[in-house]
Structure 1
Amino acid sequence: MTSSLTERAANDDQQVEAGWRPFLRRNRRYLQALATLLVIGLFGLAIFHLTSEVQYDDVVQALADTSWTSVVAAILFTALSFFALTFYDVGALEYVRRKLPYADVALTAACAYAVGNTAGFGALSGGAIRYRAYSRLGIEPENIARIIAFVTLAFGLGLLTVTCLSLLAVGEYVAPLTGLDPFWLRMIAVAILGTVLAVFVKGRDGHEVTIGRFALRMPDSRTSSRQFLVTALDLAASATVLYVLLPAGTIGWPAFLAIYSLAVGIGVLSHVPAGLGVFETIIIATLGHSADVDTILGALVLYRVIYHVLPLLIAIAVVVGIELRQLSGHPVASSVRRIGGRITPLLLATLGIVLAIMLVLSSVTPTPDENLAFLEGLLPLPIVEGAHFLASLLGLALVIVSRGLAQRLDGAWWASVAIAVAALLLSLIKAIALVEAGMLAFFLVGLIASRRLFVRPASLFGQALTLPWLTALGVICLGGFVVLMFVYRDVDYSHELWWQFEFSAEAPRGLRALLGVTIGASAIAIWSLMRPAASGAEPASDDAMERALAIVEAQDMSDANLVRMGDKSLMFSADGRAFIMYGQRARSWIALFDPVGPVDAWPELIWQFIETARASGCRAVFYQVSPLGLAYYADAGLRAFRLGELAHVDLARFEMKGGKWANLRQQVSRAQRDGLEFKMVAPADVPAIMGELTAISDAWLAHHNAKEKGFSLGAFDPDYLAEQPVAVLTYEGRIVAFANILVTATKQEGTVDLMRFAPDAPKGSMDFLFAQVMEHLKAEGYRTFNLGMAPLSGMSSRQIAPVWDRAGRTFFEHGERFYNFKGLRAFKSKFHPHWQPRYLVASGGINPILALMDATFLIGGGFKGVMKK
């Protein structure tokens, strides 16, 4: 009986687990967002309790009492910290064996950290800055990924090491926060340091270190030592920024360094943007017994302004200065100008978020008494009340348009200008807030100076906010609530507060403003999450096909003829000069190749495709794209992952003479002696041989136990085959092999798509067929021959290769069971081609893996098709 009950309980547990896991996987992003808001709420509650004896006026007075010498010292140490931060990128570039001018690297790194420290979420992050900047400077996507990984790992290990070293010296200061005895705290630090040291010793000189399921390739000892010194300098300088703002004698500098490092580390682990609230809680909890909490709060506010906001303002001033010098005709380094043009929208979007927070927080904090008295004698109460309430709503609106600024929308630019002007006027009317007005004026100047960058005509209101942006709205609302409760903690709540309208009634004014922001943010979130998805992908109409074929004929890319299959949807640019062909599988909209058409039409079409896919609740994916368009995809916030290499043969140099062509020349001669004959059949004559071609195709499929593919490969379809030339091999008067040839009117490139041969075709028929096709196209005046892609070819096996490359390389070497990767590469290598990388482009996280799976199933015709090869 007991055994039966136990077994039943175990089965019930398994059913519950089976039911929860899919739920967690489906809603992982939403749960992470809720967890972020929960963490902020908990730490906000902790701060509220830790500051129970603190008055808002005391904090304001502490800010006013801070000496200018301390502020200047904090600014100098901020400059030193950011100088040190640039050497993360310098070291990363050396690690991947690339070299760029220091000015380019310093600008990129400084802007990346200015954005990452301030925003630290989603589309606004240091990684996005680096992708946009370094892609413009010619760094390959896989190397950019290595740079980002190197920078992240170097900072993480350096932070961990510095924190543990500090704990050894000052463990008694940190022990009360953790609840551990200082002895045990030091023992934990020793254990961590021992582990880190063992990892570095074992992984010295680039050896791989395996920890459980994870494998980590370490840099050489020289690089590791140098990056540790960079981290130590960065942390020491940034800690000193806050240290000089604290009252003298609060705590010794070594002890403070340990506390600061711990606070930064926990803030990073919390995944809260900029560690907001988490960092402050730890600093207050550890230093609250050594100094007045109001002075610590004042120092923390100044620290956030000096170390987080000031570098962002300086970065914007630099890139705006580049824009202004360009407009004035002054010479500026072209590479720096290119970087500035790519990252300015992200910088302005980040500043927009900062200003939005400022407008919301200023609406829940009281106006200085002297300013309020001046306004009372100048303006009627309804105008002041209205200005106060509208300014908070403008803060909410600025969050929304900031996303459009990051995407370079012209509508977002106009809306931002209007909001900045209105908010500037309202900030003067509601509180004579000169600092607030000055920040808004700076934002306005930055917008006007960079007007040429915001030229995308996409609809601002046609885009729903993504989850990171909705999380940002939640963070702002929670932050406003915490500040409101702190400022007016001595005001007893009553329902009458909502209806008090007096110049001195500051708490009711703040309540109404926060309520308006919360209701507005909730409405936006509900609309973004619940609005119906746009219509999905639709088959191409006859008219669309005619337009697409006209574009294909005028372009050089022969593979674009795959549009003739009619199995893909089409999306045209606004001017009709270019199109994207794509298919849909699950939640992926997968575009095949780069856009087809003039390159200057690509950027807007890429954005259009991404936005339409997102509006349909799907991810945008680009499959088999060339290096030519990588900068455009990076600008759109997507990342590139190598798929393999495409083989091109220069037909002008294709001549089967010399030693390197000996094997191929012998096979061609043998095929001719065996009686194989080559013939190119014009499209008009293809229907006459369709019966023979059908028989060969059916026999080939049966012999290989395969089914027709699609999307990136042509399938056997009589109408499709009859639209382009077909190359055939005859043996003893009958056709034994064929391949359809894809060409365009420009005669820049030709390629082979569908290749089939009879089971009894003589050995070496395919080599002979390809050689004859290239000879024929060369005689016809074609310049290159596209041999197609070798999947997973060219994946890096170097020690610094990212996980994606190492996994692809492993599959290439040992995946014969699933696909003949090495054999395909070897076949194409017979023709001594030039190899060019091809990429899968998608957003980060797990999306590339899901996108590749969807693309595989789309090509193979579903799971069964993939399993049948």
Structure 2
Amino acid sequence: MTDTTLSAQTSDLNEPAGQAPAPSATRLDQPPPGLRQRIAEFASSWKPLLSLGIGVVVLVLVWVAISHLIGEVNYDDVVDTLHATPLSAIAAAIGFTVLSFLSLSIYDYSALQYLKKRVPYPLVALTSFCAYAVGNTAGFGPLTGGAIRFRFYGRMGFEPADVAKVVAFITVAFGLGLAGVTALGLVFDPADVAEPIGLPPFVIAGIGAAILAALGALCLASALGRRRIGFRGIAVELPSPRIMAAQFIGTLLDVTTSAAVLWVLLPQTDLGFPAFVAIYAVAIGLGVASHVPAGVGVFEAVIVAVVGRTASIDEVLSALFLYRLIYYALPLLAATGTVSVMELRGAAAGARSSRVLRAGARLAPRVLSAFTLVMGTVLVLSGVTPAADSHLDLLSQFMPLPIVEGAHFIESVLGLGLIVIARGLAHRLDGAWWAAVVSVGVAAILSLLKAIAISEFLALSLLFLALLATRREFSRPASLLHQTLTPGWLLAIATVVISAIAVLFFVYSDVDYSRELWWQFEFSEEAPRSLRAILGVVIAAGALGVWSLLRPPKGKTGRPSAAELAEATAILAHQSHPDANLVRLGDKTLLFSEDRKAFIMYGRQAHSWVALFDPVGPRSSWPGLVWQFVEMAQAAGGRAVFYQVQPQNLSLYADAGLQPFKLGEAAHVDLASFDLKGGKRASLRHAFNRAQRDGLIFEMLAPADVAREMDELQAVSNVWLAERKAREKRFSIGAFERDYVGALPVAVVRREGRIVAFATVMTTDLKNEVTVDLMRCASDAPGGTMEFLFTALLLHLKDEGYRVFDLGMAPLSGLSESPAAPFWHKLARTVVEHGERFYNFNGLRAFKAKFQPEWQPRYLAVSGGASPALALADVTVLISGGLKGVVGK
């Protein structure tokens, strides 16, 4: 049963006999969207491309600034400095990296304490480590730590709102902690910070003191019991002083130890460590604010601009390279090895595997995706940097030049391919796994053929083995060629390509450009080889970007054929959720899985491609089908929306990049325990007995018997619609169409032989769950007629052996009232508070509560970054049939 159908008809259910019915509870026939909504829709649709353009512009400007800062630096000097780095400094940097990642687990642990959730610390530490290893390195939406946390905590029974709170807590805690650590550096060493930026030290110290005072006020408010603070109607509940103290200590340890990683690698400078920590924190903050993946270029520009004033720039560049390698790449390598070993052990243990081993399996796809992305970047950058002369001399003795040239060029383009493949791995596509295995294996061989690059070979070999070890995690059947690169991934590709071009100009700054460079083929001529490699990468990246942005829309819309309807009807007969019978209306487009065992029914409105309910069919066919639908929507320039999905399936949508928002709660009645005995159901019993005394008789009509009563049923329906000045709804609600009504059992209530009320009943062959769709009542029916119909229907279904009756969803109910609730919950509660006179929210839930149901949450799953309010508005238009489109009257 759907939410809007019952709400449109329960206005009579609580009315005493003789009173006029209340105004219609549904107000779905809204006028076309106004100017404000159209502007919001336009901004929402173009926001990703605008963000992509801004990111590219920022990146270009940053690299131009860096090129001016390092204009006099020679690449060979940087390499020599790199090789001269003391092993003790490298060992110290590794040690500080370990301490930093240990302190990072405090973020997750504190967030769970704040939410009063208990998770064993080993699981928290593993999740935190993998989330930060991936988030620090990839640093953009599709691969962030938030996605990893949702996949992990969601499988542990956390509600989506709980996972959102964990991520929000960590983000806010990190921001406040970073501000606090920066302020400490400004207060204790203002002179060193003031000199590079040209401000008096007392101003710098004053800024730091003001930040510390603001943070101290928050701590004081928490200590005095004033845990709730608000601004413009948005309230936030502060954690306890103990949690705040632990979190700040964790941030202090994290920032100082991560800053120490770079500090021990840098040459001697005039900066004191407190001042350096403040500068480091500012550089990290600017890198995050730039939205450039991993803050590439932005972080380096700040460090070079400040530290380079008092130290050799070639030594600063060498330290920055080692810092990125140790603090970013090394943890990712460790995470890859960890999840691979855990996956192998979990496979060996089978069903007896521990929770920690199962957690490794959940984290593996994102970790390997990030590692593949990094290795693709390494191959592209390797293509624009010269190999060691000794290696080239050795190759020249036994390897023909064309093979070396070809290996160099092909491996660079393969690097770009690995970046594209990484997206498919994040979504666990089997096609991406096969492409990764082949590409990584070929790249490993080419790394030896092009320059005997041992480090590249070892890293690629580790990735190859990790892919083999985690094969079973990439089980989603979908073609890699069908995926459309989102603006986030296009920005990642642009970051790599622009950075590679900047590195190329830096490395060969002493080489004069001429046309002849393109045609020089010699072992000792590395500049021409790098030029050809970057040209291949740029051409491939450009073609890929144009194809992703301008490819023709795919995916069909419109009514299904008779053959498709018959195929879908056969599928739904063997699954447990009867609301899929809405497919019989034929007003929704159908998308079948590749094995034709499952389907999705959907409609299109504006930029929203809205799937109704979870997929229908065996669950083994769902993952590929969900991915297929999401890709189809994205390829058409739209957003994928799943309406009224169940909580146990949320991880499936999270894997496909969708975010869940709670819609309300569905009422399920356990028929085995349902009866009219006892005080709790006294009101139902009295109403049932009174209805029988009034001469009401319940009858269940089989589909074969509905045809002879069709005229009388339609007369009741027409009167019901006319009295409410309503029209038939669509999409998630049935309409009175003779073929549709005649295909379903119909529960009727008669008075003196005449039908005065009816409800169409939806079932499947499994006889597990049952619900109703259309409900209509004659104007002269006694008060309480629909209540009698429902009560009698439940008793009848119980006798027939059905187990669960679905009373449908109460919209926007069961939402959190906590001050720390997500913004969506607060917005929905506001709608309920001010929209009760338009939509009977509270009355609808109160009616369903009479049957003492079990309330189960239902969610709206929307493509990441899309507004749930806009998506829900499109769903409303689909249901109302108010706009011409895919689904309408």
TM-score, with structure 1 as normaliser: 0.94
Determine the C-alpha separation between the residues in 2 that align with 1:193 and 1:377: 65
Q: Work out whether residues 136 and 339 of structure 1, in 8 Å CA contact, stay in contact via their aligned partners in 2.
A: no
- Correspondence for 2:200: 181
Determine the C-alpha separation between the residues in 1 that align with 2:358 and 2:871: 31
Specify the SS of the correspondent of 2:868.
helix
Determine the C-alpha separation between the residues in 1 that align with 2:238 and 2:86: 45
Aligned partner of 1:272 among 289, 292, 301: 292
Specify the SS of the correspondent of 2:662.
strand
The aligned runs of 1:105-120 (5 Å cut-off) are 105-120=124-139
Specify the SS of the correspondent of 1:556.
coil
- Correspondence for 1:286: 306
Per mean C-alpha deviation after superposition, the further-off stretch among 335-344 and 19-28 is: 19-28
Give the 3 Å change call, closer, same or farther, for CA 329–761 of structure 1 in structure 2.
closer
Letter in 2 for 1:576: R
Per mean C-alpha deviation after superposition, the further-off stretch among 252-261 and 411-420 is: 411-420
**Per-residue deviation at 1:556?**
1.8
Q: Work out whether residues 176 and 286 of structure 1, in 8 Å CA contact, stay in contact via their aligned partners in 2.
A: no
- Alignment pair present for 1:231 and 2:246: no
- Correspondence for 2:629: 609
Determine the C-alpha separation between the residues in 1 that align with 2:78 and 2:205: 35
- Alignment pair present for 1:580 and 2:600: yes
Letter in 2 for 1:392: S
Letter in 1 for 2:613: F
- Correspondence for 1:590: 610
Specify the SS of the correspondent of 2:481.
coil
Q: Work out whether residues 647 and 834 of structure 1, in 8 Å CA contact, stay in contact via their aligned partners in 2.
A: yes
Q: Work out whether residues 463 and 611 of structure 1, in 8 Å CA contact, stay in contact via their aligned partners in 2.
A: yes
- Correspondence for 2:181: 162
Q: Work out whether residues 760 and 772 of structure 2, in 8 Å CA contact, stay in contact via their aligned partners in 1.
A: yes
Determine the C-alpha separation between the residues in 1 that align with 2:584 and 2:563: 13
- Alignment pair present for 1:681 and 2:726: no
**Per-residue deviation at 1:239?**
0.9
- Where in structure 2 are there 5+ consecutive unaligned residues? 1-35
Determine the C-alpha separation between the residues in 2 that align with 1:295 and 1:440: 29
Specify the SS of the correspondent of 1:855.
helix
Letter in 2 for 1:365: T
Q: Work out whether residues 170 and 258 of structure 1, in 8 Å CA contact, stay in contact via their aligned partners in 2.
A: no
The aligned runs of 1:540-579 (5 Å cut-off) are 540-579=560-599
The aligned runs of 1:769-780 (5 Å cut-off) are 769-780=789-800
Q: Work out whether residues 106 and 246 of structure 2, in 8 Å CA contact, stay in contact via their aligned partners in 1.
A: no
The aligned runs of 1:836-855 (5 Å cut-off) are 836-855=856-875
**Per-residue deviation at 1:522?**
0.6
Give the 3 Å change call, closer, same or farther, for CA 237–743 of structure 1 in structure 2.
same
- Correspondence for 2:72: 53
**Per-residue deviation at 1:172?**
2.5
Specify the SS of the correspondent of 1:476.
helix
Per mean C-alpha deviation after superposition, the further-off stretch among 720-729 and 272-281 is: 720-729
Aligned partner of 2:344 among 316, 324, 335: 324
- Alignment pair present for 1:784 and 2:804: yes
**Per-residue deviation at 1:327?**
4.0
Letter in 2 for 1:499: W
- Alignment pair present for 1:627 and 2:647: yes
- Alignment pair present for 1:419 and 2:425: no
- Correspondence for 2:398: 378
Letter in 2 for 1:126: G
Paired residues in the alignment total 850
- Correspondence for 1:523: 543
Specify the SS of the correspondent of 2:398.
coil
- Correspondence for 1:12: none
Q: Work out whether residues 325 and 331 of structure 1, in 8 Å CA contact, stay in contact via their aligned partners in 2.
A: no
- Correspondence for 2:850: 830
- Correspondence for 2:95: 76
Q: Work out whether residues 100 and 253 of structure 2, in 8 Å CA contact, stay in contact via their aligned partners in 1.
A: yes
Determine the C-alpha separation between the residues in 2 that align with 1:533 and 1:21: 23
Determine the C-alpha separation between the residues in 1 that align with 2:722 and 2:349: 68
Give the 3 Å change call, closer, same or farther, for CA 567–386 of structure 1 in structure 2.
same
Give the 3 Å change call, closer, same or farther, for CA 212–781 of structure 1 in structure 2.
closer
1:231-263 per-position Cα deviation (integer Å, ceiling 9, x unaligned): 111111111111111224553221111111111
- Correspondence for 1:390: 410
Determine the C-alpha separation between the residues in 2 that align with 1:409 and 1:819: 43
Specify the SS of the correspondent of 1:157.
helix
- Correspondence for 2:816: 796
Specify the SS of the correspondent of 1:109.
helix
Determine the C-alpha separation between the residues in 2 that align with 1:694 and 1:163: 73
Determine the C-alpha separation between the residues in 2 that align with 1:862 and 1:222: 54
Give the 3 Å change call, closer, same or farther, for CA 25–548 of structure 1 in structure 2.
closer
**Per-residue deviation at 1:334?**
3.1
- Correspondence for 2:690: 670
- Correspondence for 1:406: 426
**Per-residue deviation at 1:776?**
1.0
Determine the C-alpha separation between the residues in 1 that align with 2:851 and 2:472: 47
Letter in 2 for 1:173: D
Determine the C-alpha separation between the residues in 2 that align with 1:692 and 1:207: 62
- Where in structure 1 are there 5+ consecutive unaligned residues? 1-16
Specify the SS of the correspondent of 1:81.
helix
**Per-residue deviation at 1:478?**
0.6
- Correspondence for 2:329: 309
- Correspondence for 2:514: 494
Aligned partner of 2:47 among 22, 28, 39: 28
Q: Work out whether residues 136 and 338 of structure 1, in 8 Å CA contact, stay in contact via their aligned partners in 2.
A: no
Letter in 2 for 1:691: D
- Correspondence for 2:163: 144
Aligned partner of 1:254 among 262, 266, 274: 274
1:336-375 per-position Cα deviation (integer Å, ceiling 9, x unaligned): 2332222212211111111111111111111222222222
Specify the SS of the correspondent of 2:628.
helix
Aligned partner of 2:147 among 128, 132, 136: 128
Determine the C-alpha separation between the residues in 2 that align with 1:617 and 1:198: 47
Determine the C-alpha separation between the residues in 2 that align with 1:381 and 1:50: 37
Letter in 2 for 1:503: F
**Per-residue deviation at 1:199?**
4.5
Give the 3 Å change call, closer, same or farther, for CA 338–280 of structure 1 in structure 2.
same
**Per-residue deviation at 1:658?**
0.9
- Correspondence for 1:9: none
The aligned runs of 1:458-477 (5 Å cut-off) are 458-477=478-497
Determine the C-alpha separation between the residues in 2 that align with 1:351 and 1:832: 51
Per mean C-alpha deviation after superposition, the further-off stretch among 94-103 and 189-198 is: 189-198
Determine the C-alpha separation between the residues in 1 that align with 2:666 and 2:625: 24
The aligned runs of 1:718-867 (5 Å cut-off) are 718-862=738-882
Q: Cα RMSD between the aligned structures?
A: 2.3
1:147-200 per-position Cα deviation (integer Å, ceiling 9, x unaligned): 111111111111112112211122222234444333223323333333344445
**Per-residue deviation at 1:302?**
0.7
Specify the SS of the correspondent of 1:538.
coil
Q: Work out whether residues 734 and 773 of structure 2, in 8 Å CA contact, stay in contact via their aligned partners in 1.
A: yes
- Correspondence for 1:13: none
**Per-residue deviation at 1:807?**
1.8
Give the 3 Å change call, closer, same or farther, for CA 369–206 of structure 1 in structure 2.
farther
Give the 3 Å change call, closer, same or farther, for CA 209–864 of structure 1 in structure 2.
farther
Q: Work out whether residues 199 and 209 of structure 1, in 8 Å CA contact, stay in contact via their aligned partners in 2.
A: no
Determine the C-alpha separation between the residues in 1 that align with 2:584 and 2:43: 42
Give the 3 Å change call, closer, same or farther, for CA 863–22 of structure 1 in structure 2.
closer
- Correspondence for 1:62: 81
Determine the C-alpha separation between the residues in 2 that align with 1:618 and 1:206: 45
Specify the SS of the correspondent of 2:143.
coil
Per mean C-alpha deviation after superposition, the further-off stretch among 592-601 and 816-825 is: 592-601
Between 1 and 2, higher relative CO (CA 8 Å, sep ≥ 6) is seen in 2
- Correspondence for 1:484: 504
Per mean C-alpha deviation after superposition, the further-off stretch among 663-672 and 267-276 is: 663-672
Specify the SS of the correspondent of 1:307.
helix
Letter in 1 for 2:515: H
Specify the SS of the correspondent of 2:580.
helix
Per mean C-alpha deviation after superposition, the further-off stretch among 702-711 and 824-833 is: 702-711
Identity of aligned residues (%): 54
Specify the SS of the correspondent of 1:471.
helix
Determine the C-alpha separation between the residues in 2 that align with 1:734 and 1:453: 60
Letter in 2 for 1:116: G
